[in-house]
Structure 1
């Protein structure tokens, strides 16, 4: 196995472990961590407190939103990484996208099941949907990056359109 394949597989495994580790935290521990992060975001004025809203209520609402955004982000990265791994071996982008989506969605379901086994945590189909939607965006970003690099490589080699290629432009 070459170095690139080893690195991308290692990154996927590391990211899955990170997700598993976050899901292993008891509800109180994960809630305290996300409340601290939310408070820091509010303190940095990245989220503005609307007028006539109780700051404590706002903190709880913002915290819920940030927790869901974290689900989305973690699985966006996972979808991206899985897509990159599969694209090392298989050049059919449609196939790699579908398989990446299936793997990500199955991992999202298993993550929610795992959370049912952790004190104070529960599973939610809504989170599976958020996770899978994040994975879809990650897969799309992966495809976009592959396409940009492929186009750039063709441009540098002189085999892609423009004034150096075979495509004529209208005057």
Structure 2
């Protein structure tokens, strides 16, 4: 019963902003995973046509930079890497909004990303014209790690800035309390001096 009371109390004091972020990041993560699986379910001809279209756009941009064109194979691998980078980024954000100890539990999103990569490549085994390979699993997992690292770095920066701001705020509060205490002590000394009785010599002189 005591455990239930503590849990209920924790939920009662959950910030509305935190609840909103949990909903937003969870929906974004689910959408990202579904988007990855949707791309894997496309047959070879459709997937290849879309990759070719993306390749033309990328090569058009690279041509202005005097950089050599990319092959369709490289574009497809970069697309996989980018998808899973986004998933890793969202996995880390979801972990953060559900627990403050996100550094300690970083293995959870890593396992989630690996599971998604394995399932994604398994799906492609049953799609006409698509293939699957261990190398693709590691490319996908590399994207997850990259996204996790970027999100972790941003979260640590935000935590550091927040802690620094809180420390400055606490120091200002302590300085204000100390100044108020000093003013109160000076006021008490003045009041004590005013209430002190006059000496006999001074009364005789007056």
Q: Which TM-score band (shorter chain)?
A: 0.7 to 0.9
Please tell me whether Structure 1 or Structure 2 has the larger radius of gyration of its CA atoms: 2
Q: Secondary structure at the match of 2:36?
A: helix
Aligned partner of 1:66 among 62, 75, 78:
75
Larger relative contact order, structure 1 or 2 (CA cutoff 8 Å, min sep 6): 1
Q: Provide the residue aligned with 2:89 in structure 1.
A: 80
- Distance in 2, matches of 1:8 and 1:122, equals 31
Which residue matches 2:155? 146
2:46 aligned residue: 29
* Cα distance in structure 2, aligned partners of 1:105 and 1:134: 10
Structure 1 stretch displaced more, 39-48 or 98-107: 39-48
TM-score by length of 2: 0.68
User: 1:41 & 1:123 partners in 2: Cα distance?
Assistant: 25
1:47–1:88 distance in 2 versus 1, CA, 3 Å: farther
Aligned positions of 1:1-171 closer than 5 A = 2-44=19-61, 45=63, 48-49=67-68, 62-159=71-168
Gaps of 5+ in 1: 50-57, 165-171
Counterpart of 1:93 in 2: which secondary structure? Answer: coil
The answer (yes or no) to whether the contact 2:26–2:94 under 8 Å persists in 1 is yes
Counterpart CA distance in 1 for 2:71 and 2:151 is 29
Large movers: runs of 4+ above 4 Å: none
State whether residues 114 and 141 of structure 2, in contact with CA within 8 Å, keep that contact through their aligned partners in structure 1.
Answer: yes
Aligned length: 152
Q: Is the 8 A contact 2:95 2:102 kept in 1?
A: no
TM-score normalised by structure 1 residue count: 0.81
Superposed displacement of residue 158, structure 1: 3.2
**Structure with the higher helix share, 1 or 2:** 2
Unaligned runs of 5+ in 2: 1-10, 12-18, 173-206
- Is the 8 Å Cα contact of residues 35 and 63 (structure 1) preserved in structure 2? yes
